[in-house]
Chain A
Amino acid sequence: MAEIDWFPLTLSLRVALIATAFVVIIGVALGWLLARRRFFGRELLDAAVTLPLVLPPTVLGYYLLVLLGRKSPVGHAIEAITGQPLVFTWRGAVVAAGIGALPLVVKTSRTAIVAVDTNLENAARTLGESEWRVFWRVTMPLASRGIIAAAMLAFARALGDFGATLMVAGNIPGRTQTAAVAIFDAAQAGRDNYALVLVLILSAVTLTLVYATNKLTIDRR
């Protein structure tokens, strides 16, 4: 066990952190939209956002490949702007992990925002505040525990993404091989000790995060 390869683990952490940052911004915005606005197709949007939670990861990965692949207009545009493709790079892994985590952020933040008394938001409006400032000064602080919980769940989920990441980013050791994929690889190749180390580390980190999330959302209620 002298030569443990830490690359998959550090890649996973980097991918999960960046994915969480993106997905919290998008997810909280969607959660607010679903909690506070009435519009046509609201429940349909909610259902669509929930899909990554229930679809087979391979199906999700397939969609992403088709949508973001080098031959698709979106993939083409990304390559034109950034100079490199998204698929089969670590950035692809960020997208795959982020999409998987999105439902958790939307659901959790929607619940947290619904729990904020609309009277408080209306009071802020009567005091001259715009919708944007009402969100930052009233809604967000009062929903913050739920939103922090959402971010931690998202991070835990992104850290463990396997199927979609494998489809979109591939399994290129030293480039796109995240911890979850590396465990699969090691187990297949009979490197059981290496697999076990990664498994234990991932389990410990995830357990801590989920435990902290529960503490945040259940305590002081």
Chain B
Amino acid sequence: MTLSVKIKKALGSFDGGDSQSTGPVTGSLESQRSAYSEGFELDVEFEVPPGFAILFGASGSGKTTTLKSISGIVRPDAGCISIDGEVLFDSGQRIDLPIRRRGVGYVFQDLALFPHLTVQANVEFGMSERPHSDRRRRAEAMMDALRISHTARRRPGEISGGEAQRVALARALTCKPRVLLLDEPLSAIDEATKLGIISDLKSLNRELRLPILYVTHNREEAISLGERVIVYERGRVVARGEPIEVFGTPITTSVARLTGVENIFAGLVVGKSETGGTMTVEISDRSGVCLVDVPFGNEALDEHVTIAVPSGDILLATEEPRSTSLRNRLSGRISAIEDKVNRTVVSVHAGVIWNASVTRQAVKELGLSEGKEVWLAFKTHSCYLLDQTQ
């Protein structure tokens, strides 16, 4: 099963964006809140084969509008949406299937659980055509798989955020959708619960093999779930590929910022060595300056450049890492340690402030703590010279 999307939609001052309110099906947008005072056009084209595809981008870049277009809640101005060749929407052929005939499962950003019904009734909601016993059996199997059986008799107002998330997922899946859309499903959930849901989502994915389009602006979620990443910026796809490519080798400053590369610095080329294959760049931020070696390029001496270093490429050591091929070795002091979903980010003041991603295990083994002296090391080729387009 493959979802194909090619849509255009003007997002004016009435952009639906990531706002909660939804226009009526008739297509009027008057009830939608403004995300940008000046409008822009959503103009995207992509395919989603079975598995997770992450729709990544800042708030108001058109991610939610894309999901709403696929589900039929919002009508694109032009384009075509199909699942395995079956057309859901085609402006040319004037095809616009109603929401209920699309077979698209949608977990809304605010979940939209029915507050007047129990969890069980919520999960059974979409199976009203089926016989009662069949309905009950499938709902119970689904609640079991998502570990929410104990909440069956409660109402959505009486369960936790993580449980509510699982209920919304169960409700969408009992209808056997052909495509699953998830709009920032984990944004309001604490880190521990998040990890549990992520691992359940992964096993569901292995079992169902549906195209799953997952909207987020969280880099950790994208990396832990993504088989493919599609990066949005102001209504355009600015990068796509495997997470490792997209997050590891950003091409432009805007993509680097969007994908959350932690180390981006403005710098000046101060030395070039063609034979050595390197250039020396003096970088600076508010806290100071520092020299790094970057790959040789066309940039001239004294030219302004921007470089990015993914935090995962930086090695942390408690002693100077001598006799390695690593060209960049900097000593400094830890200024902060922050726990993220699947890693820990250690900030080190070494001329400028660097962020390095390590595991919790490494933090423990090296005895890292604020104020501790450490060495940073990374390869010349971990420094990316960014295009100055944005």
Contact A126 B71 (CB under 8 A): yes
B181 CB to closest chain A CB (Å) equals: 9
| B63-93 contacts to A (CB < 8 Å) | 71-73
Q: Given A118-B21, A120-B112, are A37 and B126 neighbors across the interface (CB < 8 Å)?
A: no
The CA of A130 and the CA of B20, in the complex, are separated in Å by 23
Is there an interface contact between B171 and A122, defined as CB atoms closer than 8 Å? no
- Tell me the interface secondary structure of chain B in the complex: loop
Contact (A122, B100) CB under 8 Å given A117-B112, A128-B175: no
CB contact between B126 and one of A122, A128, A142 (< 8 Å): that residue: A128
- In the complex, chain A residues 102-127 whose Cβ is within 8 Å of any chain B Cβ: 117-120, 122-127
The complex places the Cα of A36 from the Cα of B104 at a distance, in Å, of 23
| B98 contact set on A, CB distance < 8 A | 125
Q: B175 near A122 (CB under 8 angstroms)?
A: no
Residues of B within 8 A of A138 (CB): 114
A126 touches B25 (CB 8 A): no
Would you call A38 and B73 a contact (CB within 8 A)?
A: no
- The interface bits of chain B over 95-138 (1 if a CB of A lies within 8 angstroms of the residue's CB, else 0) are 00011101011101010111110000000011011000000000
Interface string of A35-69 (1 = CB under 8 A from B): 01110000000000000000000000000000000
- Residue from the set A118, A119, A122 with the largest chain B CB neighbour count within 10 Å: A122
A133 touches B108 (CB 8 A): no
Residues of A within 8 A of B20 (CB): 119
Chain A interface mostly helix, strand, loop or mixed?
helix
* Closest B residue, CB atoms, query A129: B100
B128 and A133 within 8 A (CB)? yes
Are B114 and A126 in contact, with the CB atoms below 8 A?
Answer: no
Can you name the residue of chain B whose Cβ is closest to the Cβ of A144? B116
Contact (Cβ within 8 A) A122 B26: no
Contact between A119 and B112, CB atoms less than 8 A apart: yes
Given A38-B24, A38-B26, A119-B20 in contact, is the A126-B106 Cβ separation under 8 Å?
yes
Instruction: Given the known inter-chain contacts A126-B100, A127-B171, A130-B100, please indicate yes or no for A118 contacting B125, CB distance below 8 A.
Output: no
Asked if A142 meets B115 with Cβ closer than 8 Å, knowing A119-B108, A126-B172, A127-B175, the reply is yes
Interface 1/0s, chain B 8-48, versus A by CB < 8 A? Answer: 00000000000011111110100100000000000000000
Chain B CB within 8 A of A141 CB: yes
Note all chain A residues with C-beta closer than 8 A to B25. 122, 125
Q: Give the distance in Å from the alpha carbon of A199 to the alpha carbon of B200 in the complex.
A: 68
Q: In the complex, which of the residues A118, A123, A127 contacts B24, with contact meaning CB atoms closer than 8 Å?
A: A118
Residues of A within 8 A of B104 (CB): 126
Give the one of A126, A128, A141 with max B CB within 10 A. A126
Complex Cα spacing A125 to B112, Å: 12
B24 and A37 within 8 A (CB): yes
* Contact between chains at A129 and B22 (CB < 8 Å): no
Query: A123 and B21 in contact (CB under 8 A), knowing A128-B175, A142-B116?
Result: no
* Inter-chain contact A37/B26, CB cutoff 8 Å: yes
Which chain B residue has the least Cβ–Cβ distance from A123?
Answer: B112
Which residue on B lies nearest to A114, using beta carbons? B31
Question: In the complex, which residues of chain B have a beta carbon less than 8 angstroms from the beta carbon of A118?
Answer: 21-24, 31
What are the residues of chain A within 8 A of B113 when measuring CB–CB?
123
Which listed residue, A122, A126, A142, touches B105 by the CB 8 Å rule?
A126
User: Which residues of B line the A interface, CB within 8 A?
Assistant: 20-26, 28, 31, 71-73, 98-100, 102, 104-106, 108, 110, 112-116, 125-126, 128-129, 171-172, 175
- A interface residue numbers (CB < 8 A to B): 36-38, 117-120, 122-130, 133, 137-138, 141-142
The 8 closest A-B pairs by CB, nearest first: A127-B126, A125-B99, A123-B112, A126-B106, A119-B112, A38-B28, A128-B100, A141-B116
What are 23 residue pairs bridging A and B, where the CB atoms are less than 8 Å apart in the complex? A37-B26, A38-B24, A118-B24, A119-B20, A119-B21, A119-B108, A119-B112, A120-B114, A122-B22, A122-B71, A122-B73, A123-B106, A123-B113, A124-B114, A125-B72, A126-B73, A126-B100, A126-B106, A127-B126, A127-B171, A129-B100, A129-B126, A142-B116
> Can you add 13 more A-B contacts, CB < 8 Å, to A119-B110, A129-B125?
A36-B24, A37-B26, A118-B23, A119-B20, A119-B21, A120-B114, A122-B25, A126-B99, A126-B106, A127-B100, A128-B100, A129-B100, A138-B114
